[in-house]
Chains A and B, each alone.
Chain A
Amino acid sequence: MTDALSIQNVSHSFGRFQALKDVTLNVPRGGFTALLGVNGAGKTTLFSLITRLYDNASGRIEVAGHDLRRQPGAALARLGVVFQSRALDADLTVAQNLAYHAALHGIGRREARARSLEVLAQVGLSDRLDAKVSALSGGQQRRAEIARALIHRPQILLLDEATVGLDVKSRAEVVALTRSLTTTGVSALWATHILDEIRPDDGLVILHKGQVLADGRAGDLGCDLTAKFLQLTGEQA
Chain B
Amino acid sequence: MTPRMWLTAFLGISRRETLRFVNQRGRFLAALVRPLVWLFIFAAGFRAVLGLSITPPYQTYVLYEVYVTPGLCAMIQLFNGMQSSLSMVYDRETGAMRTLLVSPFPRWFLLASKLVAGVIVSIIQVYTFLAIAWFWDVRPPVAGYLTLLPALVLSGLMLGAMGLFISSAIKQLENFAGVMNFVIFPMFFASTALYPLWRMRESSTLLHDICAVNPFSHAVELIRFALYQRFDLLSFLVVSGCLILFFAGAVIMYDPAKGLWARRKGGT
Contacts and interface: CB of A to CB of B under 8 A. Distances in A.
A229 B15 CA distance: 47
B13 interface: yes
Interface residues of A, number: 39
A89 B16 contact: yes
Given A92-B16, A103-B15, A81 B23 contact: no
B35 to A, nearest CB: 25
Contacts of B120: none
B8 A106 contact: yes
Contacts of B106: 73
B9 A106 contact: yes
Contacts of B40: none
A3 to B, nearest CB: 20
A73 B20 contact: no
A92 B5 contact: no
Interface stretch (B91-99, B178-186, B187-195, B204-212): B91-99
A104 B94 contact: no
Taking residues whose C-beta sits less than 8 angstroms from the other chain, chain B's interface range is: 35 or more
Contacts of B9: 103-106
Secondary structure dominating the interface of B: helix
B265 A100 contact: no
Among all A-B residue pairs, the 7 with the closest Cβ atoms: A103-B12, A106-B5, A85-B95, A104-B103, A55-B257, A55-B256, A73-B104
6 contacts: A45-B265, A73-B1, A81-B98, A88-B96, A89-B16, A100-B13
Interface of A: 14, 17, 19, 45, 48, 51-55, 72-77, 79, 81, 83-89, 91-92, 96, 99-108, 148
Given A83-B98, A102-B12, A105-B103, 17 more contacts: A14-B263, A17-B265, A52-B102, A53-B268, A54-B263, A55-B256, A55-B257, A73-B105, A76-B102, A86-B95, A87-B99, A92-B16, A99-B15, A103-B8, A104-B13, A104-B105, A106-B5
Interface of B: 1-2, 4-6, 8-9, 11-13, 15-16, 19-20, 23-24, 94-96, 98-106, 110, 255-257, 262-265, 268
